[in-house]
Amino acid sequence: TQLLEQSPQFLSIQEGENLTVYCNSSSVFSSLQWYRQEPGEGPVLLVTVVTGGEVKKLKRLTFQFGDARKDSSLHITAAQPGDTGLYLCAGEDTGNQFYFGTGTSLTVIP
Amino acid sequence: EAQVTQNPRYLITVTGKKLTVTCSQNMNHEYMSWYRQDPGLGLRQIYYSMNVEVTDKGDVPEGYKVSRKEKRNFPLILESPSPNQTSLYFCASSPGAWSANYGYTFGSGTRLTVV
């Protein structure tokens, strides 16, 4: 069962543009993480959010956990080619089960 | 350097020929897990281990075996590989059972092709 749906699935933008990636579920999650995966490598943890409404910033990346803890978003400001990669959300539900989303493949064109 | 090491990185094998993918971590992590990654399906958990000699099935365990005889090693065994096990495999570890306090450290992946 796929609990975490990410959108868009693919995104290609020009350098300097802003973008938002979404991670949605009908289930409540006790916490949610975002990972970035570059070609030929494993995912690398970017951030963990645990409180409904929580916002965290990592340089040009802003992560938000929905008030109801069912969804999350990742906003990138002034995207750079180095941001290219597969972005994965992952959540732990209230039954302590852990799931990954299907991913958003981002390409930033110089 | 703290890391999860998987071997081999690439493997092509024939149907039915037993194979083992090794995974080792040097961070003294208790929790280890195997995932497979397929287009459109994301990362799906195969097996996980909470500690030495403690393993349990994930979402897609059929056709796989694991063992955890030592804390640092968590090999994935395919006794009789089939073409539907062609995939990209990742080993991951964490200090404890996953919670908001931890994140996974992933290996670099093993791309397996079964012909």
Which residues have C-beta within 8 Å of that of residue B66, sequence separation ≥ 6? Answer: B34, B46, B47, B49, B55, B74, B75, B76, B77
Q: Do strands A10-14 and A104-109 pair parallel, antiparallel, or not at all (unpaired)?
A: parallel
Tell me the residues of chain B between 10 and 69 that have a Cβ less than 8 Å away from chain A: 35, 40-45
Task: Give the pLDDT confidence score for residue A98 in this predicted structure.
Answer: 78
For B34-74, write each residue's pLDDT tens digit: 999 998 888 999 999 999 999 999 989 999 999 999 999 99
Would an 8 Å CB–CB cutoff place B104 in contact with chain A? yes
Residues 50 to 79 of A: which have CB under 8 A from any B CB?
A: 50
* pLDDT tens, residue by residue, B70-105: 999 999 999 999 999 999 999 999 987 766 667 899
* Cα three-residue angle A8-A12-A16, rounded to 5 degrees: 115
Whole-number pLDDT of residue A77: 98
What pLDDT shows up at residue A39? Answer: 87
Ranges of chain A with pLDDT below 50: none
pLDDT computed for residue A3 by the predictor = 75
**Nearest CB to B106; choose among A43, A50, A103:** A43
Record the tokens describing residue B101, joined without a space: 């306090």
Rounded Cα gap, residues A5 and A22, in angstroms: 8
Return the pLDDT at A40.
86
Q: Which of B40, B100, B108 sits opposite A42 (nearest CB)?
A: B108
Q: Are B50 and B103 in contact (CB under 8 A)?
A: no
